Structure 1
């Protein structure tokens, strides 16, 4: 008989652990008890025993529970005030920011490890400001500059503060590196759609690496398409590489948007790039915009989970999502922040959500009729 499907989540605001268990063959458990370690539930189906691993220890006066499919258990207060939990719950610095990357580092294609930026080519790495900084100047100034006609010049901040790629300098955003084209090697360029930026691809394996950022006179190499060479080498001569999953990068971007916009719901659509202006015409509206998209709700941006497929505690973002397939459905969402992902990444994002949904017990897969449940692994 297959082991039960389960999903457990820490609810930090109420200091409880939510547990959902589903027998894959419809069998009802004969008994459920708390393991002596208080870090697992022991579920018995007749003579067969299975264990449901919990994201935190449990405070419970009793080790016997009424057999059921869902539980709310009190998380250990001692654990929640411990250094171990602090490590899980504390904010994580964006990987590969300017303080982490140094001149000896290289940037390599994540698929074939071909060097895109050899070690030693970039002499200085600098963090970029938020892409919204120029737009925020109107809010930061109580008295905006005016021209001779008395008109505010606030809209001209973007031009004055235009960021341009520099030779031998790497500019670092939470999601990408902005670099001069001449500093890169083993890359080619493709024009995928008439109104979108050129795609930068690996010359060896043809994997998309980023886009041309004409406004900044450079290219954006997306971090999820790269491995970072750390400047040290193994005995066989291969460079030691650092890399993360696409799920981790995308969840970090959703967290970034939550922190910077104050919103929890976003429309994710296929497009040239994340927050790129290359697909905009002079009116500020997207040209030939796709009607498909994913309406995503970042329900809990930082939680601890365990699940059947991975019983060790992991940080995750809990989400609900809806697929939209027409312009009418998109318009029905009203004024909502739109996030553009390259088509290949958008397709992978959809698969990640579907795989996360399929890993959940049946009672968690849908909510309020139209929302589908899911999660993304995070840093």
Structure 2
């Protein structure tokens, strides 16, 4: 409607119109707004902004639950689905494509589905919806045990860089993940040893004291422990030339770590081991073991001949998943109240006025699933193995005298950097989930990637020595220009340290 001055009431008198009609003509409806109202589908951020440009009208997510043999496919659309909305499975059974209003989106399924030719999947006709959910039930053929074998091979909590694997490698060199500066030179550690369970000293002391055939030694625990070497009184000590390996870190002698130092900016209670090259935190001193605890998530490791070494590093969230799965197995609960170390002021004031610090209550709901999503992330190649967690952001404070400890929630302390990474990873993982799957009965839902079969070993070189292990443990085959430049920079870094 064009904008023009309204005519006076006398101009309509000759037309003989009722007063009500005259009022409408004198007060026309305002023009429609140029900006459309936001869709109800939008969440905290605009739906279009959260999706890649070529898939801005369709978001796909699929997950495979091995124990119930079910693939669940979620599709989020910009508008309600119609008869023209199609879902097709390709002839190879690897890809699934959703078409809607001239747009298409494709993802790789978490597992190959056996079939003959393209297959159209039926969508519910009513009611029309922007959120579609399809479930595909997997059925094994009589001569196939593929799903069973897959489930069996994934029962172990896979953790790379164990002592046995490192001992088999030639020229193991530990580097800072942040700058690739050398922390532990090749050949410095002559022997790598796996540490036992975290409670090994307590368990061994109990076993020793209650051995039925050595009751006469009960009053000489320290003496016998000294002779046999397993009593709790025999504290573990870092040793030059020996690398002790646990779930998520190394215990090393200070003299062996030429590329690291203790930060002079930290107080005695907050002392940190940092990289000499870039100052990035690598771990902390362990005074009881007379050594340094260096965290695996801060490192990359190279091995093999100096002319063509292989490099390994992994995302921080995979180390977090390994830690949570270890706790599930050894503690017997699935809910963990995770928090950073309390500050010295908090600890000192705890008896009188307990201070609180930000924390995250994590419920490990599904320890093992495979997922694919149309929302890409750096270094992720679907299908991706993950842990599904429910979580709540809250606060933590030291228990006061008389307060009972929870029997269903384990209190877990993470280094501050790891705690922050946990929160960021859970928040970011919600972007790959459909809007309807981000909440569950008051919990936020997130995904943490976990180590998959094959990531516990180093990559194998090919015949010409150009194959190398990528950042996520994938064999990248021929070296790209970017990787070649990275390797050259590493070589220069090595020369500068030497």
TM range (shorter): 0.7 to 0.9
**1:99 alignment counterpart:** 164
Deviations 1:115-149 (A, max 9, x none): 1110011111110011112233476468377659x
> Structure 1: which 5+ residue stretches go unaligned?
273-277
**1:113 alignment counterpart:** 180
- Alpha-carbon shift at residue 200 of structure 1 (Å): 0.3
1:56·1:76 contact (CA, 8 Å) conserved in 2? no
TM-score, normalised relative to structure 1? 0.82
1:59·1:76 contact (CA, 8 Å) conserved in 2? no
Q: What's the secondary structure of 1:339's corresponding residue?
A: strand
Closer/same/farther in 2, CA of residues 254 and 80 from structure 1, 3 Å limit: farther
Deviations 1:265-299 (A, max 9, x none): 11111129xxxxx9xx9xxx9xx885321111111
Deviations 1:88-133 (A, max 9, x none): 7353642111112136211111111111110011111110011112
**2:329 alignment counterpart:** 259
Q: State the alpha-carbon separation in 1 of the partners of residues 301 and 439 from structure 2.
A: 38
- Alpha-carbon shift at residue 247 of structure 1 (Å): 1.3
TM-score, normalised relative to structure 2? 0.64
**1:275 alignment counterpart:** none
Deviations 1:203-236 (A, max 9, x none): 111110001001111001100111112042346x
Q: How is 1:289-304 mapped onto 2 (pairs within 5 angstroms)?
A: 291-304=357-370
Q: How is 1:1-379 mapped onto 2 (pairs within 5 angstroms)?
A: 2-23=56-77, 25-28=78-81, 30-58=85-113, 63-67=120-124, 69-78=132-141, 81=146, 85=150, 89=154, 91=156, 93-102=158-167, 104-137=171-204, 140=207, 143=210, 159-190=232-263, 196-234=269-307, 239-271=309-341, 291-310=357-376, 312-325=382-395, 327=397, 334-335=406-407, 336-369=409-442, 371-379=443-451
Report the count of equivalent residues: 358
- Alpha-carbon shift at residue 48 of structure 1 (Å): 2.9
Q: Segments of 4+ in structure 1 off by > 6 A?
A: 59-62, 328-333
Q: What's the secondary structure of 2:326's corresponding residue?
A: helix
1:104·1:119 contact (CA, 8 Å) conserved in 2? yes
Q: State the alpha-carbon separation in 1 of the partners of residues 419 and 266 from structure 2.
A: 16
Q: State the alpha-carbon separation in 1 of the partners of residues 398 and 239 from structure 2.
A: 43
2:105·2:374 contact (CA, 8 Å) conserved in 1? no
Deviations 1:65-91 (A, max 9, x none): 114611221124257626984697353
Closer/same/farther in 2, CA of residues 28 and 138 from structure 1, 3 Å limit: farther
Closer/same/farther in 2, CA of residues 5 and 234 from structure 1, 3 Å limit: farther
2:106·2:374 contact (CA, 8 Å) conserved in 1? no
Q: State the alpha-carbon separation in 2 of the partners of residues 100 and 106 from structure 1.
A: 14
1:7·1:19 contact (CA, 8 Å) conserved in 2? yes
Deviations 1:282-337 (A, max 9, x none): xxx9xx88532111111111211111135721211111111112549998982432
Closer/same/farther in 2, CA of residues 328 and 6 from structure 1, 3 Å limit: farther
- Alpha-carbon shift at residue 345 of structure 1 (Å): 2.1
Q: Write 1 or 2 for the structure with the bigger share of helix.
A: 2
2:389·2:447 contact (CA, 8 Å) conserved in 1? yes
Q: State the alpha-carbon separation in 2 of the partners of residues 324 and 234 from structure 1.
A: 50
CA RMSD of aligned residues (A): 3.6
Closer/same/farther in 2, CA of residues 98 and 41 from structure 1, 3 Å limit: same
Q: State the alpha-carbon separation in 1 of the partners of residues 434 and 307 from structure 2.
A: 43
Q: Write 1 or 2 for the structure with the bigger share of strand.
A: 1
